[in-house]
Amino acid sequence: MKKIYFTVVVCFLLYFSANSYAQTISEVKTKDRSVGTKQLKDKPKKVFVNDFVVHFQFYNQKEKSSKGGLMGGVLKGDAKSKLFLGLDNLTEQDFIDITNNLFADFQSQLQAKGYSFLDGKAFENTDALKGRERIENYPVAYTIFPGVASVHPSNYAFYSSNENFFKMNYGSKLSKDLDDALVANVELFVFFIEDKNSWAQKNKSANIKVETQLRIVAYDNVKAVNEKEISKLQALTIGKKKQVDIPAQSQIEFTCGRNAIGGSPIVSYIGNLKNDIVIEDAIENQTIKSEAKNDEDYIGTNTAFGKVYRANNITVSNSYILPVDVEKYKDGILEAGNAFIKTHIENMLN
């Protein structure tokens, strides 16, 4: 009897230990807009991946200023606050591994539904692909968004954008030229900070406030200092300012067929998130602040030339490097990304 009791206790402890370290993500809540998805049953079960990219935020720089000046007998100095946050322990290969695994799961989910994947090689002379450069082993890009690594899967040939890429109904044109294949675009944003509102009174200080929270972003605009050249593709989006907004929206899009009149797609599916998918345990969730208060001179100093006011210009800089549990980081993003992709594939096909 004692032996049985001991075995049960050991099993319970092992179960509790294993589950206490299990990766957890928040509930996946999605939304979508779709047209004509029932008609997919009459279309070829072929998929062409026009784009599949995961944007990993791995550092973020911010600046905020509060201008001084003489007003109402008070001289204020300028104040500037600077904040740098970065993730420790991660490598470029970690980002590549996550992206490759997400793409492999994306492929296997569609293959399980009977779909095969097209290589664009046989269609390079079509109007939709003409002028687009074939890229194999797409290099990791660091200049699309500041502080972000943009990663494509290593084992699939993608095609660069051209001037036609931005035209209305380009996806339906591409599908038509690919013999009505299903055209897929997937873009995920993995961020670790959220911008929060300033807490001090207006014009009293230059302050920055963020919260750290690893997540796949539903929709957000995160401010970042840009110190690198921005790619031409994104120049219209974030410009060349010192501090810019990073417009982030995770999305999966499928297009199939083309209507003869107007050129709109016969089948269209756009899937998003209602809320961020939060990934727990990979980094510590915390609030981080940086503040530079304006120096003020209310009294002044009497001199032979009259009253003189003096106020210093102040700059405060803070840096934080956040430890990362790399395995939980990778497992959490895979779990969240796979859930996002699977939900939308099921929604589209069902």
CA distance 171 to 254: 9
The C-alpha torsion from 38 through 40 and 41 to 43, rounded to 10°, is 150
Question: What is the overall mean pLDDT for the chain?
Answer: 82
CA distance 174 to 23: 39
**CA separation (Å) from 39 to 34, 206, 242, 261, 349?**
12, 56, 48, 18, 10
Residue in this structure with the two tokens 């935020």, named with its chain if needed? 57
Instruction: Pick the range with the lowest mean pLDDT from 36-50, 58-72, 280-294.
Output: 58-72
CA distance 326 to 308: 57
Q: Which helix (H) or strand (E) holds 258?
A: none
Q: Other CB atoms closer than 10 Å to residue 88's CB: what's the count? A: 12
- pLDDT category at 111 given cuts 50, 70, 90 is very high
pLDDT tens, position by position, 189-241: 999 999 987 555 555 667 888 899 999 999 999 989 886 554 433 433 344 55
- pLDDT category at 73 given cuts 50, 70, 90 is low
pLDDT tens, position by position, 30-52: 999 999 999 999 999 999 999 99
